[in-house]
Structure 1
Amino acid sequence: MTLVSVGEAAAVDSARQEPVACPRARRLRRLRRLAPAASVAAGTALIGTHGSVYGNWLIDDAAISFAYSRSIAQGLGPVVQAGAEPVEGFSNPTWTVLLALARLVGLFDRGTLFGVPDYVLLPKALALLCCAGILAACYVAAARITRRPWLATIAVGAILAAIPSFVIWTFSGLENSLYALIVGWQAVLVFRAVLDNRLLAWKVALSAGVLAALAALTRPEGLIYAGVYPLVVLGSLRRPLLWQSVRRILLSTAAFAVPVGGYVAWRYATFGQLLSSPSVAKGQDIPALEDMARPGELVEYAGAPAVLVVVALLGMLLAKAPWWRRGLLALLVPLGLALLAYAVLEPDWMSQYRFATPIWVLGALIATLSAIEVFTRIGRRGRAWLSVGLIAALLPSAASFTSHAQEFRTKPNISACYVADRFGRVFNAYADILGLRQASLLIPDLGGSALTSRLRLIDMAGLTHDRFAELARDHDKPGQRDYVYGEARPTFIHIREPWSSGTGLAADPRLERDYHPIHFDIYQGAPHGDWVRKDAVTDDAALARLRSYADTTTTRVEQSGAAWPRRHCGATLRPGQSTIPQP
Structure 2
Amino acid sequence: MLRARRQAADRGQDTGRLSPDRRILLAAALASLAVGVWACWSVTVDDAYITYRYSANLAHGFGPVWNPGRTPVEGFTNFAWMVWHAPWVWLGVPLPVVSKLTAAACAAAIVWVLVTEPRTRSGAVVAAGSFVLFLPTWVHVDAGLETAPFALVVLRAVVLAARLLRDPDVVVSSWEMPALLLLAGTLRPDGVLGVGPALLVWLWLRRSRRSTWLWTAGGGALGAGYVAARWAYYGHPLPNTFYVKVGVEATTDGRWIELTAATLLPLLAFAVAALFRSRTAGPAALVLASCTALWIIPALSAPAMDYLSRFAWHGFPLVCLAAAWALDTVDLRRVAAGAAVVAVGWTTVAGLLAPDGPSMVNYGDDLRRAHIAVGLALADTDLPADRRTVAVSDAGAIPYFSGWTATDYIGLNDGRIAHGADPTEVLQADDPSVVVVTSSSPRPPAASWRTDLTPVLAGRELVGVAQMRPEYFQLVFATPDVAPQVRTALDRRLAEGRAVTDARLDPGYSRWLERVLGLS
Aligned to 1:495: 437
SS of the residue aligned with 2:143? coil
Over 3 Å counting, the alpha-carbon distance change for 1:68 and 1:34 in structure 2 is farther
Q: Is the 8 A contact 1:418 1:448 kept in 2?
A: no
User: Which residue pairs with 1:58 in the alignment?
Assistant: 44
Count of residue pairs brought into register by the alignment: 489
Could you tell me how far apart the structure 1 residues matched to 2:142 and 2:472 are?
35
How much does 1:412 deviate?
2.2
Conserved 8 A contact 1:56-1:120: no
Say yes or no: does 1:318 pair with 2:275: yes
**Are residues 493 and 370 of structure 1, via their aligned partners in 2, closer, same or farther at CA, if it must alter by over 3 Å?**
same
Q: In the alignment, which of 261, 273, 276 is matched to residue 236 of structure 2?
A: 273
C-alpha distance in 1 between matches for 2:427 and 2:275: 59
Partner of 2:460: 515
Unaligned runs of 5+ in 2: 1-13, 506-519
What is the CA–CA distance in structure 1 between the aligned matches of 2:141 and 2:472, rounded to whole Å?
37
Distance in 1 (CA, whole Å) between partners of 2:322 and 2:111 is 13
Q: Note closer, same or farther for the CA distance 1:510–1:151 as it changes in structure 2 (3 Å cut).
A: closer
Percent identity, aligned pairs only? 20
Change (3 A) 1:524 1:460: farther
How much has 1:187 moved relative to structure 2? 0.3
TM-score (norm 1): 0.72
What secondary structure sits across from 2:117 in the alignment? Answer: helix
CA-atom RMSD in angstroms: 4.0
Letter in 2 for 1:352: L
Deviation at 1:218, TM superposition (A): 0.4
CA distance, structure 2, for counterparts of residue 526 and residue 217 of structure 1: 34
SS in 1 for 2:436: strand
**Structure 2 residue aligned with 1:261:** 224
Tell me the equivalent position of 1:19: none
The answer to whether the 8 Å contact 1:69/1:97 transfers is yes
How far apart, CA to CA, are the structure 1 residues paired with 2:292 and 2:24? 31
Aligned to 1:182: 153
Partner amino acid, structure 1, of 2:294: A
User: Quick one: which of 291, 311, 327 aligns to 1:335?
Assistant: 291
Aligned residue for 1:217, secondary structure, equals helix
The answer on whether the counterparts of 1:495 and 1:530 sit within 8 Å (CA) in structure 2 is: yes
Unpaired segments ≥5 residues, structure 1: 1-27, 112-117, 538-542, 566-582
**Residues 397-476 of structure 1: pairs in structure 2 closer than 5 A:** 397-404=347-354, 407-408=358-359, 411-412=362-363, 417-418=368-369, 421-429=372-380, 431-432=381-382, 438-471=387-420
With over 3 angstroms needed to count, the CA separation of the structure-2 counterparts of 1:549 and 1:524, relative to structure 1, is: farther
> 1:414/1:89 Cα in 2 relative to 1: closer, same or farther (>3 Å)?
farther
Deviation at 1:547, TM superposition (A): 4.4
1:510: how far off?
4.6
CA contact (8 A) 1:291 1:343 kept: no
2:196 partner SS: helix
Q: Distance in 1 between matches of 2:322 and 2:388?
A: 54
CA distance in 2, matches of 1:101, 1:151: 42
Match of 1:294 among 237, 252, 256: 256
Q: Distance in 2 between matches of 1:83 and 1:39?
A: 53
Give the secondary-structure state (helix, strand or coil) at the position aligned to 2:138.
helix
Do the aligned residues in 1 keep the contact of 2:368 with 2:497 (CA within 8 Å)?
no
Deviation of the 1:219 alpha carbon: 1.0
User: Partner letter of residue 267 of structure 1?
Assistant: R
Residue by residue over 1:59-109, the C-alpha shift from the partner in whole angstroms, topping out at 9 and shown as x without a partner, is 1211222222222223321123544543222211111122223445x3xxx
CA 1:520–1:99: 2 relative to 1, 3 Å: closer
Alignment partner, residue 482 of structure 1 = 425
Higher-Rg structure is 1
- For 2:51, what is the secondary structure of its paired residue? helix
Q: Distance in 2 between matches of 1:527 and 1:171?
A: 24
Task: Spell out the pairing of 1:84-483 with structure 2 (5 A cutoff).
Answer: 84-104=70-90, 106=91, 110-111=92-93, 118-139=94-115, 141-142=117-118, 146=119, 148=120, 152-153=123-124, 155-198=126-169, 203-204=173-174, 206-225=175-194, 227-229=196-198, 231-232=200-201, 244=208, 254-283=217-246, 290=252, 294-302=256-264, 304=265, 306-307=266-267, 310-311=268-269, 313-314=270-271, 316-319=273-276, 321-344=277-300, 346-374=302-330, 376=331, 378=332, 383-384=334-335, 387-388=337-338, 391=341, 395-404=345-354, 407-408=358-359, 411-412=362-363, 417-418=368-369, 421-429=372-380, 431-432=381-382, 438-471=387-420, 479-483=422-426
Tell me how far 1:178 sits from its aligned partner.
Answer: 0.8
For 2:16 and 2:425, locate their aligned partners in 1 and report how far apart those are by CA, in whole Å: 71
Equivalent residue for 2:514?
A: none
Q: Secondary structure at the match of 2:307?
A: coil
SS at match of 2:463: strand
Pairwise CA distance, 1:167: 2.4
Looking at structure 2, the residues matched to 356 and 61 of structure 1 have their Cα atoms a distance apart, in angstroms, of 18
Deviation of 1:213 after TM superposition, in Å, equals 2.0
- Please list the CA deviations of residues 292-317 of structure 1 after superposition, one character each: whole Å capped at 9, or x if unmatched: 77322212234x4x35xx52x44554
* 1:162 Cα deviation from its structure 2 partner: 1.8
